[in-house]
Structure 1
Amino acid sequence: MAKLYLIPNLLSEGDWQNVLPAHVLPVLTQTRYFIVENIRTARRFMKRVNQAIEIDDLTFFELNKHTPSNEIPSFLNPLEKGEDIAVISEAGCPGVADPGAEIVKLAHHKRMEVVPLTGPSSIILSLMASGLNGQNFAFNGYLPVKSAERAKAVKVLEKKAKIEQQTQIFIETPYRNNQLISDLLKMCSSATLLCIAANLTGENEFIATRPIGEWKKGVPDLNKQPAIFLIGY
C-alpha cells in the first residue's frame, strides 16, 4: 500500500546527519512525488541529504498560502495510483505550524496511510530545554503585529501561564524578533519567566530561561534569526 510520508526538514544550517535519523535518506531517495511549501528550498534540502538524487526526474506539488484550494486534492493522485508521496516542511515537522496539515487531513479522509518520520520540532525542542511546564502547554503561532493587539494578546497569555500553569509558546517573523522581545519586556511582570530559543540545532544555538526582570539587563540580538519564545512560571 502506498504511503504519505511526512519528512522533517532542518531548522538550521549544518550536517543533516546530526539532526535527522538515517531512515530519511532512503525515503527521500526512493520517492518520486513530493508536496512541498517551496520547490527551490525543498530541492536544496534534498541535495544536501543525497547529492545523487536526480531532481529533474521528480514531480513537485507546491502547497502554501498561494495554492488554490481546489488544486490540493489532485496532489494525492499518485498515492491513489500506488505511488508513495512525501511531504516536506520548510523547517521542522510537516503539519506543525505548517500548511502540510491540510494534505494530511485530506489523506486521512481518503483512508490513506500516513507515516510521520522522526525529526526536529522547534516547539518541542524549546519546551524540553526551557525548564517550563512540559505537561500543560499551548502553541499560539504568531502574535498580532499591531502594538495594541499584541499587548492584549501578551497579557492574555501571561495570565494563562500564571493561573493555569500553562506554558505559552509563540513565534515571530525573524526580522521582528527584537521588537517582540522589547514588547515582552514592557508588558510582562518582572517575575514572569521568558525562554528565548534561537537557531535550534545550529552551531550558534542559544537557549536561556530567565525572569523578565533579568532580561531587562540585556537581551541577545535576534534580528533575522529563527527563534521561538516561551513564557511561564
Structure 2
Amino acid sequence: MTKSSFPKPRRTKSEVKTAGVQGTLYVVATPIGNLEDITLRALKVLNNVDIIAAEGVDHTRQLLRHYDIRTRLESYNQHNHKLKAPELLGHLNRGKDIAVVTDAGTPGISDPGVYLIGLAVDHGIRVTPIPGPSAVTSALSVSGLPSEQFVFLGFLPNRAGKRMMALKRLAFETRTMVFFEAPHRIRPMLNDLRGALGDRQMVMVREISKVFEETRHGPVSAILEGLTQEKTRGEFTLVVSGAKEDAVDSLSEGVLDRIESLLSDQDISTKDIAELISKEEGVSYRQIYKECVARRKGCLRKGLRREDEIQ
C-alpha cells in the first residue's frame, strides 16, 4: 500500500478557511495489539499529516511499515512531553497537521497525549478525534457487568498505602469501575481490591487483541488463585462491579464504633469527626456526617427522657 493509495481528504469550507493559518491536531486511535484493528480513516490521516507525534517511535514505526506509510515521526512521551509539546504547538501554528498516537489504543487516556491536546485546545488549535480501539470499552464489552454508567480510574498509585486509600474511597461506588494495571503490580492490586472492596465480581482482561489474549470472569479471590507467574505478563484491564445499593446505605461495625468513640469526646465537632473518618476509611463524608448527627440527636433525646423520669 503506497502513499498515493490514500487520497487527500476533501476539506470542508471551514477547513479551507483556516488552511495555511493553523494546522489540525488529530488524536488517532491505533491498534492495542492486532494491526488489523486500525481503521481506514486512521490510515488515511497518518499518511497525510505532516508529523506523527508518537509515544513509542519504534513501536509506531512497525505499524507504519506494515502499511507502507512514510510520514515523519517524532518522539512524544512521558519523559519529554513538557519540552516537546511547545515545539509541536509551533508546528501547528505554522499550518502543519499533526497526528498524536499512543503505543496502544486511544491517546489522551492515561497517557501523555492529554498534555499536548490540552495545550492545543488552550491555543485555539482545531483538535479532531479519529476513533478506534480502546482497552476501556473493549474490556467493558466482554465483562457482562452493567455498563450504562461506569467510572474509569486508570492506574492507581504505585505505593501500597496510597493505592489502598484510593480503593477504600471507592467502597461505596455503585458504578462499574475500570482500572489499568501493569504486570509487576497485578497481584498486589488484586489483593488490595479484595481487602478494600471485598470479594467482588470482576473481569480481568490480559493482552487484549494479542496472541495470548485472556479474559477471566469471577470473584477477586478466584482471579487471584488462577494468577500463575506465566499469567502475570502483559498489560491488564480490570473491570470491577460496583457496590450494591443496599451496601451504600450501611456502615461497617468498625466505622460505627469509631464514630461512637469520637462522639464521646465533646471537644470534637461533628464536622471534624466526619472529615477524619472519611479520610481514614475512604467512606463518604456526607454519610459519616449524617450518622453523627443522628447519633447526637439520639443521645440528646435519651438525655431529655432521663430528665423527665427524674422529675
TM tier, smaller: 0.7 to 0.9
Shift of 1:96: 1.0
User: 2:187 & 2:220 partners in 1: Cα distance?
Assistant: 15
Q: Given the alignment, which residue of 87, 98, 115 partners 2:111?
A: 98
Structure 1 residues 123 and 176: CA distance shift in structure 2, 3 A: same
Pair 1:54 & 2:70 matched: yes
Structure 1 residues 59 and 202: CA distance shift in structure 2, 3 A: closer
Residues 199-218 of structure 1 aligned to structure 2 (within 5 Å): 199-215=207-223, 218=226
Task: Give the partner amino acid of 1:232.
Answer: S
* Matching residue of 1:177: 186
Shift of 1:132: 2.0
Pair 1:9 & 2:30 matched: yes
Structure 1 residues 137 and 144: CA distance shift in structure 2, 3 A: same
What percentage of residue pairs aligned between the two structures are identical? 25
* Matching residue of 2:172: 160
Structure 1 residues 152 and 33: CA distance shift in structure 2, 3 A: same
Question: Residue 74 of structure 1: SS of its match in structure 2?
Answer: helix
> Residues 178 and 222 of structure 1 are in contact (CA less than 8 Å); yes or no, is this contact kept in structure 2?
no
* Matching residue of 2:201: 193
| Structure number with higher relative contact order (C-alpha < 8 Å, ≥ 6 residues apart) | 1
Shift of 1:195: 1.2
User: Higher mean Cα deviation, 205-214 or 117-126?
Assistant: 205-214
Return the structure number with greater strand share.
1
> Residues 190 and 224 of structure 2 are in contact (CA less than 8 Å); yes or no, is this contact kept in structure 1?
no
Question: Residue 140 of structure 1: SS of its match in structure 2?
Answer: strand
User: Higher mean Cα deviation, 64-73 or 74-83?
Assistant: 64-73
Task: Give the partner amino acid of 2:156.
Answer: L
Question: Residue 45 of structure 2: SS of its match in structure 1?
Answer: helix
String of CA shifts for 1:83-117, please: whole Å, max 9, x gaps: 21110111110111111111111212222221111
Pair 1:42 & 2:55 matched: no
TM-score, reference length from structure 2:
0.64
> Residues 177 and 241 of structure 2 are in contact (CA less than 8 Å); yes or no, is this contact kept in structure 1?
yes
CA radius of gyration, larger in: 2
User: Higher mean Cα deviation, 62-71 or 126-135?
Assistant: 62-71
Aligned residue-pair number: 220
Question: Residue 142 of structure 2: SS of its match in structure 1?
Answer: helix
Structure 1 residues 183 and 87: CA distance shift in structure 2, 3 A: same
String of CA shifts for 1:156-192, please: whole Å, max 9, x gaps: 32x133xxx11122122223223433443455423x1
Task: Give the partner amino acid of 2:231.
Answer: L
Query: How large is the RMSD of aligned CA atoms in angstroms?
Result: 2.3
Structure 1 residues 213 and 177: CA distance shift in structure 2, 3 A: closer
TM-score, reference length from structure 1:
0.82
Q: Given the alignment, which residue of 80, 84, 87 partners 2:93?
A: 80
User: 2:111 & 2:60 partners in 1: Cα distance?
Assistant: 14
Task: Give the partner amino acid of 1:9.
Answer: T
Pair 1:135 & 2:148 matched: yes
Return the structure number with greater helix share.
2
